[in-house]
Structure 1
Amino acid sequence: MDGAFRKIDIDAFDEDVLLESELYEPDPRDPSQVLDEAKAKSVAVRSLLSKGDIAGALVTILENAPYGANVDEAKNLTLQTLVTILNSTKSTDIPNVVKSLPPDTQDTLMKYLYKGMALPGWGDVSGSVLLGWHEKLTEVAGVGCIVRTMTDRRMV
């Protein structure tokens, strides 16, 4: 028997194939520009943390978060900076900090919490920190925040 027919990619002939590029607008910034912004944000966050401004640090790191292809280094730096913020926050301060965040920033924070949970061994952050933030964020933003995070195709 001839098995050559098995090597044909039938998806190439399908007109109804949905491409990833059709799901969301790509990040218009250059990857090197995104990395430079992530480095600048990291420095700004450390300054805000030294002043005790947790909410300001969160807003700074979560605004205009890197997404899409070719910005993996900026994504990792942003996640590491966010983990620093999460680890340096007292659990009693979390509800007030989360309440002070705008709704879009809350959704982005939820994306990063899930990204942190997806890391093998959860990376540099303990599970209790991520789950504590998740609990408080869900109490404030509701389950709609989870739904928006799961359905948004812009992966951080």
Structure 2
Amino acid sequence: MDVNFRKIDIDAFDEDVLLESELYEPDPRDPGQVTEETKTKAGAVRSSLSKGDIVGALNIVLEGAPYGPSVEEAKNLNLQTLVTILNSTKSSDISNVVKSLSQDAQDTLMKYLYKGMGMPGWGDVSGSVLLGWHEKLTEVAGTGCIVRAMTDRRLV
């Protein structure tokens, strides 16, 4: 009995199949350029943190966040920079910081919080820090922020 029919990719013959590349516009920047921009942002964040400007540091990290399959190094560097900001913020200041962010920045922050929670062993950030930020962000931005972060195809 011939069982080769089980190895046929029937989606290749379907005209209505949705490809991963059609779900969102790819990042137009070159992967090397994205990595260099992320390194530059990390330096700017350090200088903002030394001045005590948490909101400015968060805006730097969250603006133009790298996405796409070919910029993993930049994504990890951006996450590490964000974790530095999260760890250096007092829990009493989180609500005011989150309120000062734009809706897009809040959504991107939620994506990073989920990425941090999804890391094995939570990476180099404690779970209480991420959950504290998640709680305050949800209070300020509402559950819509969670839905937008979960349904956006552009992964940070």
Cα distance, 1:28 vs structure 2 = 0.6
Q: Does 1:27 align with 2:27?
A: yes
Q: Which residue of 2 aligns with 1:79?
A: 79
What RMSD in Å do the two structures reach over aligned CA positions? Answer: 0.7
Aligned partner of 1:51: which letter?
K
Q: Name structure 2 gaps, 5 residues minimum.
A: none
Q: Which residue of 2 aligns with 1:150?
A: 150
* Residues 37-61 of structure 1: per-residue CA shift (max 9 Å, x gap): 0000000001111111101000001
Q: Does 1:135 align with 2:135?
A: yes
Cα distance, 1:68 vs structure 2 = 0.7
Q: Which residue of 1 aligns with 2:126?
A: 126
Cα distance, 1:18 vs structure 2 = 0.5
Cα distance, 1:6 vs structure 2 = 1.6
Q: Which residue of 1 aligns with 2:43?
A: 43
Q: Which residue of 2 aligns with 1:10?
A: 10
* Residues 75-123 of structure 1: per-residue CA shift (max 9 Å, x gap): 0000000000000111001011101111110110000000000101111
Cα distance in 1 for residues equivalent to 2:10 and 2:108? 37
Cα distance, 1:9 vs structure 2 = 1.2
Q: Does 1:115 align with 2:80?
A: no
When normalised by structure 1's length, the TM-score is 0.98
Aligned partner of 2:46: which letter?
R
Cα distance, 1:14 vs structure 2 = 1.2
Cα distance in 1 for residues equivalent to 2:102 and 2:5? 54
> How many residue pairs get matched?
156
Cα distance in 1 for residues equivalent to 2:155 and 2:9? 27
When normalised by structure 2's length, the TM-score is 0.98
> Deviation above 6 Å: which 4+ runs of structure 1?
none
Cα distance in 2 for residues equivalent to 1:97 and 1:48? 14
